[in-house]
Structure 1
Amino acid sequence: MEGARFGELKLEVGMKFNSKHDSIKAVREFTIQEGRQINFRRNESYRVRAVCKYKKEGCKWVAYASIDHEETYWQLKTFNNNHTCARRTKNRTANRKWLASKMIKKIRKYPNLKHGEASDYFKRKCDLDLNKSSLTRALSDARNIVYGDAAAQYTLLIDYAETLLKSNPVSTVKIGVKPQPKGEPTFEKMYICLDGCKKGFKAGCRSLIGLDGAFLKTHFRGQILAAVGQDANNHICVIAWAIVEV
């Protein structure tokens, strides 16, 4: 994702795809990275044909893909990549859904990604001048996907704790929650000390415990705290860890 563009996709006659969706996606990705605007003139169950938006002005660009006779894969049968029109910095193919899909990994890495930074990111990656409202909505969609997935994980913590205790008997797992006036309680803190880690420290580590902590740079923030030991080979042995607010 940090290269010149989004993967530098190439299209060639004979390329095979698992489905119609994959073939359309490949054509769309290619035309966005090349700065071209296209229209899908055929979009049927057995064939897809894309032409340049400026075909009436004489541009001969065309991409045609269809399903094989055994209906096992899709193949690019015709591809003329000769454009006579100029490169465009505005592209309707780079829609809200496409923008959001490209920003998911970016937001996981930079949770506080701003609108201007996102705009510069797409300008640098594929020379796109984006509509402000479209980018704003896409940024919101990407955050909902990332943070929604993270929030859903917290609802599984009790099951996770029970699974840990079932597979690691005599371990210690504690979960603290905050009661809410309305609705379900929310997560506050969690402490885990697996029996195997505790016995391993007692049996083979130096009698010294190190304590450390780090900030969690996610939407929900908080800190992770750890108690660790050191064995005879100077390797770190984790004894226990916890997630807390501060």
Structure 2
Amino acid sequence: CNWKLYDSTLSDGTTFIIKTMGFKPTCSRPLTIKCANSTWIAKKLEHLLRADPWISYELMEETLAKEHNVVAGYKQLYRAKTKARSNVEGNYSPPIFKRIFICYEASRRGFAVGCTFIVLDGCHLKGSYGGVLLCVIAL
């Protein structure tokens, strides 16, 4: 785009005045906008996720390009979709309690008498909550 703008500085040194401007610019603005981060994209596309929670990334990308003239990559759209779904569906709340103890009467009596057969088992929990689930049984 080869357009020109001629200006001059006023006496205060900080203000400019435009004298002449050549022909109108014909170039479009750049498609990558720095302020278009995943949070901004999530706010703009939240209405789409309310209508269709399983919206495709291609449709998200197409909507951004049409409505906001913004091009975003797959990772940025993934983060935006995660944030928007979190806003729409809500976050997982932290657990109410950290541990629970359940004891059967027969196991308690056997342990008190001296039957010290103890079974310990554990597994790692995957997913939103994570952690380790331990189970101890005394027979």
Tell me the TM-score range normalised by the shorter chain: 0.3 to 0.5
Normalised by the size of structure 1, how large is the TM-score? Answer: 0.26
